[in-house]
Structure formats: C-alpha cells, structure tokens
Amino acid sequence: MKKYILPIITSVSIILNIILICIISFHGFGLTSDNKESENSVFQNTTERDEAAKKCMQKFICEDLYYPDSYDPVSIHVDSAFYGPLTDSECVKAAMELIDLRSKLSSAESQLKRANHDIKNFGGSGVFWRDGEAKKEAEAQIKELKPKIEKRTNLIKNRDTSHDGEFIGWIITHRYRAANGYGAVSFSDKIYVVDPKMESWYFRYSADDDDNNNILEIDKVIRQELGIYEEN
C-alpha cells in the first residue's frame, strides 16, 4: 500500500476539511459563506503562507528526528483548518483510546472463546486448570473494558458542537525522508494542524499505512460513533 501513499497524501488535507464539513452539516451546523481564511490569515498571500509552512515543518519534524540533518522534504500542501470532530482534542483523544480499548476487548473475547471451547471439550480442572483461570481473567477484562468503551463513545456522540466551523489555523500535509535510529532512511507522511501564525501545532496525525492511529482510522471511529460512516 505504501506506493499509493504519495498520490493520496497531497489531497488528504482537502479530504480532511470535506470530512469536517460533512460532519458539521450532519448536525445542522453549516459553514458560512464568508472567506474565513482571508479574514483570519496573518499572511499577505499564499506564497508567504507556504514559505512559513516549510519553515515550521522543518522545525517540528527535526525536533523528533534521531538525525535532524537527514531531513529531506518531498512534498507539502497547506489548507485552512476549521474546528470540528477531527480538531476537537477530547473527541480525537477518545477515538484514539477507543482504538486501543477495542483491540484489547477483541483479544479478551478471543481468549474467552478459546477457554470456553477447551473447558467444554477437556474440562477446566486437573491438567486443564489453566483454562478455567484464562476464562476468569478474560471475563474480568471484558467487564472492565466495556464501561470504558461506553464512556468514550458517549463523549464522541455528545461532543460540544458550538464552535464547529470556526477557523483555527492551517492543515499541513507533509511527506519527507529521514534516517531512523538505525540510520536507515525511509519516507514518512504526517498531517499537522497548526495555529494561524504557524508557531505551534494543535494536532499531529500519522498518514502512514502501518500506524493503527493514523488519520483515516481515527476518522473512521469518529464517523462510526456519529452514525455517518459507510463501509466501502
């Protein structure tokens, strides 16, 4: 899938705003017809804005690299960012935690299923006593995880939408090469949501296909909880 990332990544920021608009529209909160970017932008033109984006990306990315001198920008795209589910810190945090909690729940349910199968066929005592312990452990995990999952799903469903549609800064979609801790150079794709002056970032998303917490997975979880996700 990696070979398909480059042509996709250049349009991800546009898709992100479309997603936000769709979610806002679903809840009856449409964007105004005013040019919010022009009203709120501190930059004189797109050239000045794009140059600022290049500088802030180099700064933000290199702060986390093992070898900052290996940083090599490949592509960058800037678009306006508006407040919505994917720029709501509590909503995004809940979605990321849901991904982790549901993974743990799935593992616990699989463990319970295996334990029940073995107990049914071999009994849960004697040399098979571990199956009984595994069953109890899985049941305890499931009992603990379900309320946590419910709490986070409710947080997403009942999020505050009063600020949806407000201009908050910029979405910067960036692909670059850099060396990892072992010195091997590889590509990475990141999406930053930064403040209007591009001095700090609110959110940093992964667009790498091997990251379970990438932007598409987070978006999927949020949209599922809002009831507007359709499986392709």
Owning domain of residue 39: 2-87+161-226
For position 209, what pLDDT does the model report? 62
Find how far residue 172's CA is from the centre of its chain: 15
Residue corresponding to tokens 């990892």: 180
Q: Distance between CA atoms of 198 and 43, rounded to whole angstroms?
A: 10
Q: Mean of the pLDDT values across residues 40-68?
A: 92
Same-domain pairing of 60 and 124 = no
Find how far residue 139's CA is from the centre of its chain: 30
Q: Is residue 232 part of a domain?
A: no
* Domain C-terminal end among 108, 130, 157: 157
Predicted model pTM: 0.72
Same-domain pairing of 6 and 73 = yes
Same-domain pairing of 78 and 8 = yes
Same-domain pairing of 6 and 108 = no
Say how many Å lie between the first and final Cα of the chain, rounded. Answer: 17
Same-domain pairing of 137 and 107 = yes
pLDDT-derived band at 213 (thresholds 50, 70, 90) equals low
Burial of 174 (0-12, 13-18, 19+ CB in 10 A): buried
Q: What is the pLDDT of residues 107-159, one digit of tens each?
A: 999 999 998 888 888 766 665 678 888 899 999 999 999 999 999 999 999 99
Say how many domains are in the chain.
2
For position 197, what pLDDT does the model report? 94
* Domain C-terminal end among 118, 139, 157: 157
